Structure 1
Amino acid sequence: MSLDPDDPRAPYQQVSSALRAQILTKKFQPGEQLPSGPELAKHYGVARMTVSKALKILQDEGLIVTRQGSGSFVRERTERPVGLRPHLEQAFTEQQVTIDFAGFSSETLHNAMQEPLDKVRSGRLTPESISVRLLLPDTSASMAVPVLVDELEDDPALRNRARDIALTNAGGILHSVEVLAELGLIQTASVQVKVHRASSLFKLYILNRTEAFFGFYPLREKSVPIDGESKTFYDVTGKDTTLFRHTAGPDDASMGSQYVQQAQMWFDSVWQTIAYERAK
């Protein structure tokens, strides 16, 4: 099986997507060992390094575990949180795509959106509209995190660093979505950003008002050079967040439906009351 030469995605992304689909559809059963690296490289007609990068993606998503000297195995309980990416891509199969995010910087969302947006560019996904709302912390005032380890002291340089990370990723999402509208690939595009005076200690994604993903940010001690000075501080680590998925079903009284309803109600209430546009 060779890869699609017309697919604009990198080969390792195509391989990870193919393997992900086989895992989620149970063609590879929980606990089953995947073919070896050389076998996968031969099967897809790619280099061993390409396979390694593809497997790393699946490992980061929690779909597989890799055991030194033994190979890669489908995680025994694939019903556990498996990451945002495959569900986000599924959300783009709808005509009206809505994404609401509340969290620290939207970095994970920015990265996860690239694959479905690439598929929109190539015509593999054809939504009519994309609407994104980002609810982020206001970094212009003191925050619970990031904060210096020494006496939990506030440091404007740390907040400026957090601001730059958030602006970079929000700007990346805005540009990627607006380009699709400029090219005429979608009819309407909207990316809005608001901030609020609270530190984000959790992240929330709501996709198409029917799926909610919630996770707590673990706090870690970090040391990084800022303006030539090493800073040791506590910060959130979004890449270590385990997401729990809740889906609205046909029964409005089900636990999943109620969770999505309440999550959407919370997001809308904050967005409409205490959230405001970031000062330029």
Structure 2
Amino acid sequence: MSLDPDDTRPAFQQVSSALRADILTGKYAAGEQIPSGPELMRRYEVAKATVARALDVLRDEGLIVTRKGKGSFVRQRTERPVGLRPHLEAAFEGESVTIDFSGFSSETLNGAMTEPLDKVRSGRLTPQKISVRLLLPDTSVHMAVPVLVDELRDDPALRSRAGQLAVTHAGGLKHSVEVLAELGLVQSAKVEIRFFKASALFKLYVINGAEAFFGYYPLRQRKMVVEGEEKEFFDITGKDTTLFHYSASPDESSLGSQYVQQSQRWFDSTWDSIAFQQAEA
């Protein structure tokens, strides 16, 4: 199983990508040992250093754990949070990609999508259908956060700023995805944005109906000049959110399968009932 000579990526990235796909598709189950270093060298016809770098990548992503004298194993899903980006990239290796997101803004998703979308534009990833749904809070009404420290008073200027940031990131993501169809690189690409009257205190991603990532937004107290006035307020910190990963398996009664199923059910029911499109100015 030698590497693709037409792939311009370094050999260690090709090996890590192949192993990542095997892990995320369940070829190697949680807790299962992956092939040894010498076996991977023979399989991919690469040097020892190449395999070592590939395994380093997977360890950094939280997909495997190496036990001295025993080898490398697929990390149990509950052992440690994992990164979003490699799972998104793996999803783009299929023909159809669906991503559902609910949270304060789509800033993290926008950033994590950059590399997979770049690879679609360069022809290294070739999905044919991309569908993204963004479920964001309605900032036109009173929210739990952002809120002034002083007696937890509502502040329309803070809400307006938060709404503008959310719409900016969502708009950027919408353009980056939908332009792929305009360029003829995919058959269809669509980003839908809806809002609901609730405060976003957590974020949720559901990828291809098979994986779910969930994380709580930590809160922090901060000061900032907004509309010419210094304000002290409580706000969420999206960049500090720890994401926990759940993956569906052939066993529908497993924790991962049930979590993904219920996450998708929550998203769909909210999207189809109390979520609405924001009127354009």
Q: TM-score, normalised by structure 1?
A: 0.75
Counterpart position of 1:252: 252
Q: Distance in 1 between matches of 2:14 and 2:199?
A: 38
Counterpart position of 1:95: 95
Counterpart position of 2:203: 203
Report the CA distance shift for 1:19/1:145 in structure 2 as closer, same or farther (over 3 A): farther
Q: Is the 8 A contact 1:145 1:234 kept in 2?
A: yes
Q: Is the 8 A contact 1:222 1:232 kept in 2?
A: yes
Q: Deviations over 1:157-208 (max 9, x none)?
A: 1011111110111001110011100110000111100000000000000000
CA shift at 1:279, angstroms?
2.5
Within 5 Å, give how 1:1-280 maps onto structure 2: 79-280=79-280
Report the CA distance shift for 1:223/1:20 in structure 2 as closer, same or farther (over 3 A): farther
* 3-state SS, counterpart of residue 88 of structure 1: helix
CA shift at 1:16, angstroms?
11
* 3-state SS, counterpart of residue 278 of structure 1: coil
Q: Deviations over 1:88-146 (max 9, x none)?
A: 11111111100000000010000000000000000110001000000000000110000
Q: Distance in 1 between matches of 2:172 and 2:15?
A: 28
Cα RMSD (Å) of the superposition? 3.1
Q: Is the 8 A contact 1:22 1:28 kept in 2?
A: no
Q: Deviations over 1:13-61 (max 9, x none)?
A: x8996897699688999xxxxxxxxxxxxx99xxxxxxxxxx9xx98x6
CA shift at 1:156, angstroms?
0.7
Structure 2 counterpart of 1:157, which letter?
A
CA shift at 1:252, angstroms?
1.1
* 3-state SS, counterpart of residue 267 of structure 1: helix
Counterpart position of 1:38: none
Structure 1 counterpart of 2:254, which letter?
S
* 3-state SS, counterpart of residue 144 of structure 2: coil
Structure 2 counterpart of 1:268, which letter?
D
Give me the identity figure in percent: 62
Please, which runs of 5 or more residues in structure 2 have no aligned partner? 1-5, 24-33, 38-48, 51-55, 64-74
Q: Number of matched residues?
A: 234
CA shift at 1:278, angstroms?
1.3
Deviates more, 1:104-113 or 1:227-236: 227-236
Q: TM-score, normalised by structure 2?
A: 0.75
Report the CA distance shift for 1:62/1:257 in structure 2 as closer, same or farther (over 3 A): closer
Structure 2 counterpart of 1:145, which letter?
V
Q: Distance in 2 between matches of 1:15 and 1:141?
A: 52
Q: Distance in 1 between matches of 2:267 and 2:258?
A: 14
* 3-state SS, counterpart of residue 260 of structure 1: helix
Structure 1 counterpart of 2:213, which letter?
F
Q: Distance in 1 between matches of 2:113 and 2:219?
A: 25
